[in-house]
Structure 1
Amino acid sequence: MTAHPGFTLPDATTSLPRDGFRFSPDAAKEADGVLDAGAAGLFRQLLGDQESETTLLVARRVLHAFLPTGEADPGTDADALADRVRRTRDELAPLLTAVRARDPHTYRLALRQRAPLTLLAGCWLESVSQTATQPAIVVNSLFGHYFRLQGEGTPERGLLARRRRALAGLDVHLPAIETVDFLKETEARPLTVLHASFHLALSRLPASFLPEVVGVYYAMTALGADDLLLGTDTAFPAEEDARAVLAEYLALTAGSPTGERDRRRLAGAVALVLRLEREHAALLRELADWHDGLSLDAQVGRIVARHAPYAGRQHRGVRLGDRKLSDWLDDENLDVAAFVAQFREARQLRPAREGVCRFLRSIKFGGPMFGIFDEHEAGVFTRWAEAVAAGEPADLDFRPNTAGDDRAAAWTAALCAADPDDTLLTEAPADLDDRQLFHRVVNYERFPHILATARARAEAGLADAELLFTHGSGGTLTDAAYFDYTPEALMARVDAIYWDKLVDPYRPLTEIPDRETVIFGQTTFALGSLIDGTWAQRIGNLGRNHRQSDHMLFSIYADEMGRGDLDKNHITLIHQVLASMDIHLPHIRQDAFLDQGDLPDGLYGFSVHQMCLSLFPDSLYNEILGYNLGIEMFGLGAMRLHEIQKLRRHNLDVSYEQAHLSIDNFSAGHARQSADIIVAFLDGVRRDSGEEAVQREWRRVWRGYASFAYFVEHQLVGRVLAAQAAAPADGDAGLLI
């Protein structure tokens, strides 16, 4: 066996290499367009598209614009950093408490303004656990925190749900953060959107910016600006828990060759968070002052401006001054002050004999405009009409809302000038072998230009796998033959695979191969084991974790990663197994892994397919669910039991095999859960779109299962392909095996 330097357990990695990010020229043009579109477009790109290299390039430019380039103190320890953050919290606490004490409507306005940050809910941690970073010590610690932030598999207990409940308790009701009108409903100022975009950008490149992730997570948690603004009694997560991760990371840097640089990067990220949170607290104060200073005329103007885009065509016969009301309200450049001035003089505002003007009668129950304005808006109109009737003079000098705009302009200028020197524009090579492609998809943050190739490879693998829709029943360990979906039919197929293919054929081995043969057999599985869980690593990220199937699949991934417990992490276990065989590999992210000679070349295709699927958690979601079913059932039955028997005979580590035999159990483990996930997903499809859509979506799910079977049943596939190649063009392929 060949020994390679560079990776041993425990994995004390504190940062990954930063030797450049490779993007295609087309992605650069698209990223330019995103940045030119303004803050709202930037936010939507980063939140809404987690599958494109354009998003990763936008993220890289945002991080370049925001992260400090100056030298930060590399010698800072955890206590010193905590003290610095605590002093800033003490500075912000009275300011945010004062905002809480404002008029209730002003306070709710501030809460809505903060919501794009409040509802990010720890997004920096959502992809920190990935193939390129596992099983690093700090990554497991961060993932354990993220698992708790996600409610440990029960989203209602998670941070996002807690914050949603807190907002609702304060009468702030907002759409989901991923909806197209979220920013509009929050009335988010440019500075708010730019700050949120920084956090989203960090969440898109966490492996490349691991020191910054640690710093931002600690600083945001310890500052607790959202808890201060919401008046939350108990911070979640607790500062001391986040500080433990900070201290652990800083201790790891002491033995790292990049330790001093990593400490500088972490300290710089903490300093940035302190700056951003000061800026945003100042914005909230400016916003509150502006709102509290609005005259009644200005408050009416805000209400008119909000409803104008939806109102014009409903008032074709009404005139206001010398213009039709519809002309006023259809004007994209509506002069709100002029409108309010005319409205003050309108006959609809003159008191009738019963003392209530026609306009106020129209918005009450039974009137033609009832239900258009909420309770607060109706109250503003009532006070305004009474003031106009009492002869109070107009105050039409409307002060625009410019809260945070000076600081937003500075960040926008930095974004426009952002040109990171580690960004390389180049087309992805067209002649990559499987080793080279595997290296790039593992390190997709460094090689975003590979995404188009990865997508084509995934689609080709899925298309090839449909061969088994006809021939899959001949599989030894799987049955990918197609069938029309019902929950009962799926469970019947899963039961049949379990008993007929996996369990009943089991007989204890009467002869055990020699040690070298057993070790070689393990190497044929090892590459797939080294990327355990990869297929699900990007499921359930912010903005797309609303389905029950998302939560269930995320929980399976969390189990594969030991829920943050390094000793239970499956990547740790497989490295222990290999070490017991005297196989010491570089980490699969390392360039040296390209040259390893211990694992056979012929099986790279299986792992490449899994990696490529994982990069498209939205558009290949169905296929991932089906693939998950295949791989989780693979952990059961005769093959696994035989491997344990062989390993024990030669005193080799069985921990990886035993873990899967247990956790994948068919009663309540991952195998059963994987079938339940598919049922939950398709049940949602049925409710939303009907039975025809269920069968359409199901075909894609089963295609994912077949793509797993295609690699496992290579002998069956080989026979079918050979028979098809030899058959006449009009032959019946179904009769060839």
Structure 2
Amino acid sequence: MHLQDAWHAAITRHARDYLLNPTVAMVEMIRGKSRFAVGYHTRLKLSGHSFDEYVVQDADQFVRDLAHSRWIVRGQPEQSALLNRLVAFGGPMFRVFSPGELDVIHAWIASLPADTPQGSSTNSSRVTTSATAAPCVPGDHGVAEATACADADRTRMRAASKLGARELYHRLLNHESNPSVFDAAGAFAQTWLARVARLVDYGPDMLPFVDYTHQRLRHWFEDRALRQAQSYAGPGQDIDKPREQVIEEAVQLCPMIFVDGGWVQRWTNAGYVETGIGSLLFEIFSDEIGNGDPQLNHPNIYRDLMQQMGIDLPDFRSRAFAMSKLFSDAAFEVPAFWLSISQFPRRFLPETLGLNLAMELSGVGGAYRTARDELRHYRFDTRFVDLHNTIDNVSTGHSAMALRAIELYMDAALAMASPAASRTQWRRVWTGFRALAIPRRSWKEMFSKPEYMV
């Protein structure tokens, strides 16, 4: 009985002091996320230490000092800037933390004793910054099935080549009036992927490894995220780009941004969304369109930017938009591919997963922050790039979800297929990753159309 009582007492202490201790939970969460924070807080200091270095080197002391910073109102989570402003929509840390992680932060702040006056000289000197920075279906619409014959594929390729990206973009946005457009969409996607497949083993984004493992992919993912964060030149850089060029570049992105998330739009359908992969892709798409709130809809936010820039655009579903001289032909290539591949969620699933990762990871840490500085320099609204730099984050955001979806897909491929077949599936995923960029045409296409075998 004495030994049993001692055992129960030890378990009680462990549960009280560790498992149920909000501070321990906060430290563990920070320790797990710290590597993803590096590069995003270059101007911020906490207790005289560089934020980026401090959060990685000593999570325990970091959390203790954070408790006395001006971002925390001890014992009052709702009044703390970390929870009521920084992680809100438009804040610099929007969607950086998952709902569960926000609960951890809330419980930690609530547990802090409110015995130190907020805003005292001790507290206010804890956090400093060089400026005003904040911490930062079956049946695919009746078109080609996976077993479609080669002659049918060639017919679709000819149909797609006749349409062109502008016309295909317009017809896919109005497919109710253009039921035959799905044949052209299948051919367009096939041709695009066939061109990309030739490039998978070349260039800076070549296939990083032949035999897939989760560990290899995550190592590549974290290294890529770190390099993108380090590529940012910093807020003090000189903006050499003329105002007119900033506007022109923003205008050329309209056809793409107005169908933001379009590559996974069919994953909202019954039969897809209830799967593990489908639930992740659905959540990503739902975020892109604002989760039912028009003010949070990404295309709507970008339309506000266009109005601020003085650009008057017709409805993006109209023929006037698709044929507008404001846009180059190239501006429709990638969005036409997105809309085309999305029509075949089962057939092109591995390619879609790779494309999804490429898209969600593309601007995080580097390009979005540079774009923010350019827009801010000319006093334009930065909400669109700020939003994507947080919502696409590599810790819990869209980039992390995209990575998880690939892991789920490859789990099944590794369990059910031979090593050679698993390598083929992984190669298809990476073909999708490379498909974000417009693939160049080969001179060999003068003699025969490229074919993508799936």
Q: Calculate the TM-score normalised by the size of structure 1.
A: 0.38
Evaluate the alpha carbon distance shift between residue 50 and residue 432 of structure 1 in structure 2; reply closer, same or farther with a 3 A threshold. Answer: closer
- For residue 488 of structure 1, the aligned residue among 198, 205, 215 is 215
Cα separation, 2, equivalents of 1:434 and 1:468: 22
Provide the rounded CA distance (Å) in 2 between the counterparts of 1:670 and 1:454: 26
Assess, with a 3 A threshold, how the Cα gap between structure 1 residues 698 and 549 changes in structure 2: closer, same or farther.
same
CA distance in 1, matches of 2:250, 2:207: 25
Query: Conserved in 2, the CA contact under 8 Å of 1:471 and 1:481?
Result: no
Alignment of 1:449 onto 2:180: yes
How many angstroms does 1:689 deviate by?
4.0
Q: Aligned with 1:571: secondary structure?
A: helix
Structure 2 matches for 1:65-214, cutoff 5 A?
Answer: none
Measured in 1, the distance between the counterparts of 2:161 and 2:197 equals 26
Q: CA shift at 1:493, angstroms?
A: 1.7
Tell me the residue number matched to 1:518.
246
Residue 703 of structure 1: how far off its partner (Å): 1.1
1:637 is displaced (CA, Å) by 2.5
Q: How does 1:565-584 map to 2 (within 5 A)?
A: 565-584=293-312
Alpha-carbon distance in structure 2 between the residues aligned to 1:608 and 1:598: 17
> Are the aligned partners of 1:626 and 1:678 in contact in 2 as well (CA < 8 Å)?
yes
Cα distance in 2 between the residues matched to 1:53 and 1:587: 28
- Which one of 323, 327, 330 corresponds to residue 595 of structure 1? 323
The alpha carbon displacement at 1:575 in A equals 0.9
Per the TM alignment, residue 596 of structure 1 is displaced from its structure 2 partner at its CA by 1.6
CA distance in 2, matches of 1:577, 1:441: 25
Q: Which of 348, 353, 375 in structure 2 is aligned with 1:625?
A: 353
Write the distance in 1 (CA, Å) between the matches of 2:361 and 2:256.
15
User: Which residue matches 1:437?
Assistant: 168
Contact 1:665 1:671 in 2 (8 A): yes
1:536 to 258, 264, 273: 264
Displacement after TM superposition at 1:550 (Å): 1.1
Q: Is the 8 A contact 1:470 1:482 kept in 2?
A: no
Percent identical pairs in the alignment equals 27
The alignment status of 1:470 with 2:201, answered yes or no, reads: yes
Contact kept? 1:626, 1:701, Cα under 8 Å? yes
Structure 2: gaps spanning 5 or more residues = 1-136, 146-157, 446-454
The 5 A counterparts of 1:215-226 are none
Residue of structure 1 in register with 2:138 after alignment: 48
Q: Check 1:707–1:428 CA distance in 2 against 1; reply closer, same or farther (3 A cut).
A: closer
Q: Secondary structure at the match of 2:320?
A: helix
1:429 Cα deviation after fit: 8.2
How big is each residue's C-alpha offset from its partner over 1:161-180, in whole Å with a ceiling of 9 and x where there is no partner?
xxxxxxxxxxxxxxxxxxxx
Structure 2: how far apart are the matches of 1:649 and 1:599? 24
- The code of the aligned residue for 2:216 comes to A
| In structure 2, C-alpha distance between the alignment counterparts of 1:429 and 1:513, rounded to whole Å | 37
User: CA offsets per residue over residues 453-502 of structure 1, 9 Å max, x none?
Assistant: 111110111111123322132xxxx55556321111111222222223x2
Match of 1:634 in 2: 362
After superposition, the Cα gap between the structure-2 partners of 1:505 and 1:562, relative to the gap in structure 1 and judged at 3 Å, is same
- Helix, strand or coil at the partner of 2:253: helix
Q: SS where residue 539 of structure 1 aligns?
A: helix
| CA root-mean-square deviation | 2.7
- Alpha-carbon distance in structure 2 between the residues aligned to 1:429 and 1:656: 32
Residues 207 and 427, structure 2, Cα contact 8 Å, conserved in 1? no
Shift of 1:695: 2.4
Q: Which has the higher helix share?
A: 1
What is the total number of aligned residue pairs between the two structures? 295
Is the alpha carbon distance of 1:54 and 1:463 closer, same or farther for their aligned partners in structure 2, counting shifts above 3 Å? closer
Cα distance change of structure 1 residues 429 and 669 upon mapping to structure 2, 3 Å threshold: closer
1:658 aligned partner = 386
Matched, 1:505 2:202: no
Q: Contact between 2:290 and 2:297, CA under 8 Å: does it hold in 1?
A: yes
Report the CA distance between 1:613 and its aligned residue.
0.7
**Which residue of structure 2 aligns with residue 609 of structure 1?**
337
Contact 1:472 1:481 in 2 (8 A): no
SS in 2 for 1:695: helix
Match of 2:429 among 684, 701, 705: 701
Separation in structure 1 between the aligned mates of residue 276 and residue 192 of structure 2, nearest angstrom = 27
Give the C-alpha shift of residue 507 in structure 1. 0.5
C-alpha distance in 2 between matches for 1:428 and 1:617: 21
Letter in 2 for 1:435: R
Q: How many angstroms apart in 1 are the aligned matches of 2:172 and 2:209?
A: 30
For the 8 Å contact 1:468–1:480, the answer to whether it is kept is: no
